[in-house]
Structure 1
């Protein structure tokens, strides 16, 4: 079995970025996705250029911060102050333009490419890509770009025309109360018993202790430190090695 542990939110804060570096050094984590509109995006890009973080995908962001495009060009996606609509507003809206969403996807992608990042894959912050209001735009964008993506059928069973590579399975259960060493081992071993030749992606979110900025940007903060310690746990690494589970990134699927 092959395992992709992807750390979301690279670029959110400096401590988040530094936790990604440490996780890559340890070896279980081989994949992350960068947000192009956050306070520590430039620092994340610098870490990539230093060779400290490899295998970076794009974490398309539609529910946090401001768009890369002028908000006047994407009025359906933003509030009166030019910030992206929150998840509940997106889900309840029937006014979101597919073309505006696609244009913002393209702007975030172009910014990453211009920064010199060789992207491995695409996923989305807060699962915005699987919201009905954004899903068609995401599928079209992903097919046009041609990069692998995180599975988009975790809410609805169909891939609905997605023509790019993805993993055999994806789990978001290593999160919140599920962010324990026992749970992540159980998730991995359960998949391994069913699909010994498949690839599983686990979503993760990490930071280091003392991340004072994080709570102002995300409601998920304290457990990120727990996730970091689990993903740099020798016990977990030994479990993976014992069960012949290979840690890879999206450029290997």
Structure 2
């Protein structure tokens, strides 16, 4: 039987102080694999200073092109008008970003966010994308080629996936997802960018009638259904905060995710299921595909009739 590896990544490090507190705690206790930091967000400096003081090694870059909540807004680092809405902050939705963002401005913003993290001495291990804004899921306007070229330049693995897990409730339901994944993953292979095999998703918001116990059981079930290879799942953990609970939609789900990582039942399920927790250093070593084979796959997918 092949090994089943899992990366648990904390997205949104630097979003706010309540999120920073939760993520710092989970990293300190080694309950998660890694976290990815948001350079434009209000809590970035606090998070970056903490990383520098500790010499924290398992930190990636959460490439951020949207600012979705009224209570917490931020602007781009480069200030290009196509990256902002009428309020002067980054676009609230992925659709608005895809429709309005200038591609050259996006590339410069990605580079600026990378340099912001590097200025703090953060030794980045990987990169991913806030809200999936670069994937083209809203209008079909993808910036995946641009971000993969940047990751090749930075020598960083990126959050993509080679295969769609049949039991994933969100990704498996996207029409034509297999072809899209094949094109993106093969381009990563051509460029020499390491990626995981699978991405495991779950609902960002609280479903109707959902409770913490039900959420926990669904996440435990994922551990026993984990496919062979390298999988990544992501969480957005936060401590309880009355202001955020009132002003940020589904903040309670973030508190649940923090609680889950500290839950002994979940920790036991990982061990009992034989899952090996790892990080993006494992992806860097084992997540690159053959460039020649990837090129053949890319050509085949580009020639495939829709």
TM-score (norm 1): 0.87
Q: Distance in 2 between matches of 1:15 and 1:6?
A: 17
| Residue 202 (structure 2) aligned to one of 144, 150, 173 | 173
Matching residue of 1:185: 220
Give 1:51's aligned residue.
54
Matched, 1:7 2:10: yes
Q: Deviations over 1:48-74 (max 9, x none)?
A: 1232854010001100220111x2xx2
User: Which residue in the other structure is 2:236 paired with?
Assistant: 205
Q: Which residue of 2 aligns with 1:83?
A: 89
C-alpha root-mean-square deviation of aligned residues, in Å?
2.2
SS at match of 2:134: helix
Does 35-44 or 74-83 show the bigger shift? Answer: 74-83
Residue 226 of structure 1: aligned partner: 256
- The answer to whether structure 1 residue 97 and structure 2 residue 132 are counterparts is no
Moved more, 202-211 or 106-115: 202-211
Larger Rg: 2
Equivalent pair of 1:10/1:20 in contact (CA under 8 Å): yes
- Find the aligned partners of 1:82 and 1:27 in 2 and give their Cα distance: 38
Q: 2:155 maps to which residue?
A: 146
Asked if the contact 1:56/1:117 (under 8 Å) is kept, the reply is yes
Partner of 2:25: 22
Equivalent in 133, 136, 147 of residue 145 of structure 2: 136
Contact 2:161 2:195 in 1 (8 A): no
Cα deviation for residue 47 of structure 1 reads: 1.6
Q: Please report how far the alpha carbon of residue 249 of structure 1 lies from its aligned counterpart in structure 2 after TM superposition.
A: 1.3
Residue 125 of structure 1 deviates from its aligned partner by: 0.7
Which position in structure 2 is the counterpart of 1:161?
Answer: 187
Q: CA deviation at 1:25?
A: 3.2
Q: Distance in 2 between matches of 1:107 and 1:61?
A: 11
Q: Which residue of 1 aligns with 2:291?
A: none
Partner of 2:301: none
Task: Pick from 63, 77, 80 the counterpart of residue 60 of structure 1.
Answer: 63
Equivalenced residues, count: 243
CA drift of 1:102 comes to: 0.4
CA deviation profile, 1:157-200 (whole Å, cap 9, x unmatched): 22162231111100121643477111111122212xx41xx111
Unaligned ranges ≥5, structure 1: none
